Amino acid sequence: MHLVLFIFFGGLCVAGALNLLLQRHPINSALSLIVVMSSLAVLYLLLGAEFLAAAQVIVYSGAIMVLFTFVIMLLNAGEEERTHGSRAAYMVGIPGVAVLVSLLAFIFLSARSHLAQARLGEYVVSTSDLSKVLFRDLLLPFEVTSVLILIAILGAVALAGREH
């Protein structure tokens, strides 16, 4: 059952990421990113990381994506002009992707016998221990990151609102 759920939500995550790249409207891309983040939360649940899955849903799928959609609507991005891309990107990109997919397929198929032996570690961290480390020992980097994100958003709004 875990394998079926992993394949389904892994495929949903990849499809959401592809849809994110192929969408023309920024709001639709942000919604696709919500699908990706929610699928990652389910994958974390399958790995037994309940706290990480809850944090993924609350922080990324909830707060960050609401912030992204707010900034997109505030900047009033609208429709973007569609281009066909450069010829050099197609000449390098398509063979590069083919080589990368072939390499990954070779690695996964050759390491198939070793994958069955992989298991999680014996040490289990409780949620209270993790929260003590996150909010006591790593509080300063956590707050500095939030201030940097706020400064980046304010800078984007200031640059977008500047009259030329």
pLDDT digits (tens, 9 = 90+) for 71-80: 777 776 555 5
What is the rounded average pLDDT of the residues 104-123? 64
Which residues are CB-contacts of 79 (< 8 A; sequence separation ≥ 6)?
Answer: 24, 25
Cα separation, 53 vs 134, whole angstroms: 15
User: 33-71: per-residue pLDDT in tens?
Assistant: 888 988 999 898 888 888 888 888 888 877 777 777 777
Residue 121 pLDDT > 70: no
Residue 138 pLDDT > 70: yes
Residue 15 and residue 33 in contact, taking contact as beta carbons nearer than 8 Å:
no
pLDDT of residue 14: 93
- Helix 65-75 to helix 26-46 angle (10° resolution) is 170
Which residues are CB-contacts of 54 (< 8 A; sequence separation ≥ 6)?
Answer: 41
**Angle, vertex CA 6, rays to CA 111 and CA 23, nearest 5:** 105
Rg (CA), the chain: 20
DSSP code at position 122: S
Cα separation, 112 vs 25, whole angstroms: 40
Question: Rounded mean pLDDT of the chain?
Answer: 78
Q: Determine the 3-state secondary structure of 126 from DSSP.
A: coil
